[in-house]
Structure formats: C-alpha cells, structure tokens
Chain A
Amino acid sequence: MPSITREEVAHLARLARIELSDAELDHLAPQLDQIITLVGQVSQVAADDIPPTSHALPLTNVMREDENVPCLTPEQALSGAPAAEAQRFRVPRILEED
C-alpha cells in the first residue's frame, strides 16, 4: 500500500493552492510516496521523552523602542505589483458570485 495516494496528493495540492495537472499528479504522486517512506524513518527513533527543537539556538523575545524609521514609498511598495490602481494593489475578486 502506498504511503500516500494520488487522491491525497491532489487534496494537498488544493490546500497548498497549486493547480496540478493530471500528468503532474501521475508524476509526483509516486515520487512523494518514495519520499514519505524515506522521511518516515524518523519514527524508528525512540524519542518519547525527548523535547522537540523548533530552532537550533535558544530563542528569546526581541524588543525595541517604537520609533519612526524611513520606510518604502507607496511607489516602491507597489513597484513589483502585477496590477495596481489608485495607490493600491489591485486583486481579482475575492468573493464567489453566488
């Protein structure tokens, strides 16, 4: 039994907002199955009482004074926008029609 099915890959692609083609699903699903078998080796390690590490070095909260500093102009901030209008990012409609 594969560790991940073609249908599961299609579902994950939808969650990740990637419109995969059928040909890509055929190609990627078996590769992902192999990769998941590889990464699944972590379960062989007895680590029940081991604390997880999210970060290599101890993290501490970093605070600073709340001061005004120079920032991007609206023109600079919009310079890479696929579409802009009235000094704003123009985006496709965000609501469904019905």
Chain B
Amino acid sequence: MSDLTRKTAVELSELMVSKQASSVEVTQAHLDRIGAVDGSVKAFLHVDTEGALAQAAAVDAKRAAGEKLGPLAGVPLALKDVLTQEGVPTTAGSKILEGWKPPYDSTVVKRLKAAGIVILGKTNMDEFAMGSSTENSAYGTTHNPWDLARIPGGSGGGSSAAISAYEAPLAIGTDTGGSIRQPGAFTGTVGVKPTYGGTSRYGLIALASSLDTPGPCARTTLDAALLHEVIAGWDPLDSTSINQDVPPVVAAARNGDVSGLRIGVVKELGGEGYQPGVEARFHEAVELLTKLGAEVVEVSCPHFQYALPAYYLILPSEASSNLAKFDAMRYGLRVGDDGTNSAEKVTSLSREAGFGDEVKRRIILGTHALSSGYYDAYYGQAQKVRTLIAQDFTKAYEQVDVLVSPATPTTAFAIGDRIDDPIAMYKNDLCTIPSNLAGNAAASFPCGLADEDGLPVGFHVMAPVMRDDLLYTVGAALESALAEQWGGVLMTKAPELEVTR
C-alpha cells in the first residue's frame, strides 16, 4: 500500500472504513515516521507510543464489532503540549512543569478521545505559548520541515511542523495572538482560530484568558473542518463558552463557493515591512477569488495599527496574573526548600529557576501595566483601544462578509535571527492579533511560495463572530483553484526530509 503518512485524514478514514487499513497500521506508520524524521524536526516533546497504539486497537475493535464511529475515528493527531491529557506529561514548554502528569483531561482531549481520534503525543511550543518561533521552549527549538535552518513559527510550531513533516495528518493548536495561524503560514499548512468561546479552554494552561482559543491544524481545509467540528461546541466547564450550535464548517469546506461573497482587503495590513513575495502571492490569491466570483473591495481598519501595542499590554497583564499559580506549592518545580527558606523565598527561587527569559519579560511587563499609577495609562488605555479595534471590525462587516490580509508580514526566518530582539519577534503577529482582541474567527490557508526564498505564504481570512464557516468557504475555494494550478495542495511541493534512525 502507498505511504499512509501521505494521506489526508479523509483518505485515511476511507481506508479504515473500507477495511483496507486498520487504525493500528495507520498509527504505527505515523509512529515510524516520527522515529525517522523527528530527530531533525523536533516537533514532539513526548511520543506516547503505547497509549496511541492502545487507542488505535480500541477503535479497530469497535469497528470490527460494527459500532457506529465518527468520521475521524482511528485517525492520528499531534497535541500541543499546553492541553492536559490525563497521565501524559504536559509541560507547556516550561521547565517549571517538567515531569508533571495532569490528573485530568482537558475538554478538547475528552472530545478527541470520544471521536476515536488517536493522540500520538505532545508537541513543542514556546514556553506557555509566549513566542512566535518555538525558540522560547525550554526543551529546544522545532525546525521548519521546509528548511531545517528556519523556525516553524510559534507558539504552536511543533503542531504545524508535525503535520508539515507528515508525522501526523492532524494537530491541535491554541491561538492567543496568532499561535495557530502564523505557524500554519510558515509551514504551508492550514491553521484555524475558531471564534473565541467556540472551543473550550477547560484544561488549556492559560496564557491570556480573554484571548486563548484552541483550534485545528491540518494539511487540507476539509480535514481542518472535520477536526473543528469534533472539538467545538458549548462546554459547561468553561464560563466563556458560547452556548450555540457549531457553525456549519464541514458543509462550507465541502462547498467552497465564493460567488457573490464580499471580500474586504484590509488596507492597513500590507505595504512597508511586508516581504514582496508575501504580497505577490497574497494579491494573486485575491485575484483568483475575484475570478471565482467574489466581490473584492478595499477596507480601512484605522485602529489595527494600535493592535500590537494594545495586545502587549493586555496579554502580559493577564499572563502575569495567570502564571501566579506557579508558586511551587501544589505542583511543578520546587527549588530551595532546605528547611530554612520561607515559602515566599522558595516561590521566588522556583520561579527564577523554572521560567525562561520571555516569560520573565512578560510577567514583569504585566506587573508594571497593572500597578497603581500606571494602570489607567497602560492597561486601561489598552482596553479602550481594544474597543476601537472591535468597532473597526463591526464597521467593516457592514460592507463585506470577510476580511483578508497576508497571515504574516514575512516568511519563516532563520533560527536565532530574532531571539534577542523581542520587538522584531512581536511584529510577526501584526496581522493575526486584531482577531484575538475582537474575538472573531480567523484562519491561514497556504497560497504559494515566496519568490525570494521559496518558502510558504499564508492567506489570512477573518470572519465575524460565529461565522467560522465563512473561513472554510474561502479556504476551500482557494485550495481547489490553487491545486488545479499546482497539480496538488501546496504541501506536495515541500522538500523530502532526510530519513534518519
């Protein structure tokens, strides 16, 4: 049989339904692939070989017994290490959680298991999801399968690299400022940030609670939609979960008809600071959508230029509060408990030893922004800017159905290039951050390779709250039109990784 790791989730499901392959075979093929290439990609922090094969065998047994199974039953998946999975090490890329095995499943994991999806292991990420390259992980950097000398994006670089390296057909990421979409763009894959509240945060180790959103990563639009449907929907364990039906994402991905759809190109997300090859592919994609019947206009969102500074006040403020729970008392690293140090001293020593530079920078920044005397000028003002950004979206959606932009100003950069320049690193997320602040749905779809460096470019689509289906409509239309030009999805152009054992 041809290589199982090259199949989409939909194709794998068809093979299993028609009994041409078992889930154990599919899972083993991906475990073998991880063994062969992860030494150079380093997408995984933990591979749960036994657990994955046991889950796969259980799905095979259910299928043999004639039980009715979901469309993704038996398909393997890579899970970002920020979501708890009972009994499986969960670190969020931090030394402070090294060796921690959570005693409970996150809601996302519960739903994956209920759908019969096989969890292969936990993927690398920037520590506590703070970063855009995975270079802030305490466990080393993930490498971009398109060019191993480059970063895969972040924070969910491990999840996107895993699907781009054919180590898994599906992955879960979390998006606080672009951590699903930016790595998707950098690895030539699909990354979707659902509407805030559309997917549950229960069991997601919180970075910024008003922004964090789990979502699907895949190599095709339809695979992403099927995974989206599995994890989305109301959860009583998350007080900000939306109690409404999941938007019809799978139907939209199957249909992909953009005729008559009104698309707004955001004027402010382009021009200076944007790589020419990124802009070229983006504008070609817009033209293609026009040919497919979409009505394209330019739209201005004047406050988007302040999204980055507002975000770097709101996020650190929430993070400094969320990360206060790492106090070395109930779980995680404890340092300096020698019988003489006080609890407060042990907390301070443990946090010093357990947190990396970026986490320290953001905790201190957040502490500053929330301190009396600065609160109104920083955090309070940032919240007002957040209102203005949400109003820009509302006004734009009076004219158009979706907004579009490049997903990132540049393609993937070299490992080490921006690690000691926080501001250059932050600017990766210029296009993705506004949707987190406003809570609307957004996604990145592959739209070609930049001429300068031959690296993937992401096409960013932003849809109104709970209109996640529109993302998939645009993504599916673009994907099939581009696949016609290329003779397959963008990933088929990726270089072959050297196999080592």
> Chain B 325-348, CB within 8 Å of chain A: the 1/0 string?
001111111100101011111111
Interface size class of A (residues with CB under 8 A): 35 or more
Is A68 an interface position by the 8 A CB rule?
no
Known: A56-B439, A59-B240, A82-B331. Contact between A92 and B346, CB under 8 A?
yes
Q: Among residues 33 to 80 in chain A, which have CB atoms less than 8 Å away from a CB atom of chain B?
A: 34-36, 38-45, 47, 50-57, 59, 62, 64, 72, 76-77, 79-80
Question: Could you tell me if A13 and B327 are in contact, using CB atoms closer than 8 angstroms?
Answer: no
Question: Could you tell me if B365 and A56 are in contact, using CB atoms closer than 8 angstroms?
Answer: no
Question: Could you tell me if A36 and B365 are in contact, using CB atoms closer than 8 angstroms?
Answer: yes
B323 to chain A, nearest CB (A): 9
Residues of B within 8 A of A76 (CB): 103-104
Is A86 an interface position by the 8 A CB rule?
no
Partner of A13, one of B236, B364, B369, B387: B364
Q: Among residues 337 to 370 in chain B, which have CB atoms less than 8 Å away from a CB atom of chain A?
A: 337, 339, 341-349, 351-352, 355, 357, 360-361, 363-365, 367-369
Known: A56-B438, A80-B100. Contact between A39 and B342, CB under 8 A?
no
Known: A38-B423, A53-B390, A91-B343. Contact between A12 and B103, CB under 8 A?
no
Size of the B side of the interface (Cβ < 8 Å), in residues, is: 75
Partner of B104, one of A8, A17, A72, A82: A72
- Shortest Cβ distance from A15 into B: residue: B367
Known: A57-B196, A80-B330. Contact between A28 and B361, CB under 8 A?
yes
**Given the complex of chains A and B, what is the CA–CA distance between A95 and B342 in angstroms?**
7
**Given the complex of chains A and B, what is the CA–CA distance between A45 and B76 in angstroms?**
48
Question: Could you tell me if A52 and B380 are in contact, using CB atoms closer than 8 angstroms?
Answer: yes
* Segment from B220-228, B303-311, B442-450 that makes contact with A: B303-311
Partner of A18, one of B306, B339, B363, B386: B363
Question: Could you tell me if B386 and A53 are in contact, using CB atoms closer than 8 angstroms?
Answer: yes
Is B65 an interface position by the 8 A CB rule?
no
Is B395 an interface position by the 8 A CB rule?
no
Is B146 an interface position by the 8 A CB rule?
no
Question: Could you tell me if A42 and B382 are in contact, using CB atoms closer than 8 angstroms?
Answer: yes
Which A residues are closer than 8 A to B by beta carbons? 4, 8-9, 12-21, 24, 27-28, 31-32, 34-36, 38-45, 47, 50-57, 59, 62, 64, 72, 76-77, 79-83, 89, 91-96
Question: A53-B386, A56-B436 given. 13 additional CB < 8 A pairs?
Answer: A12-B367, A16-B320, A17-B327, A32-B368, A40-B378, A41-B309, A57-B242, A64-B236, A80-B100, A80-B101, A82-B334, A92-B346, A96-B342
Q: List 27 A-B contacts (CB under 8 A).
A: A8-B368, A16-B351, A16-B367, A17-B327, A17-B347, A17-B351, A32-B364, A38-B308, A38-B309, A38-B423, A39-B310, A41-B306, A42-B378, A45-B306, A45-B384, A47-B384, A47-B387, A50-B388, A51-B384, A53-B383, A53-B390, A54-B383, A57-B465, A59-B240, A72-B103, A80-B100, A92-B339
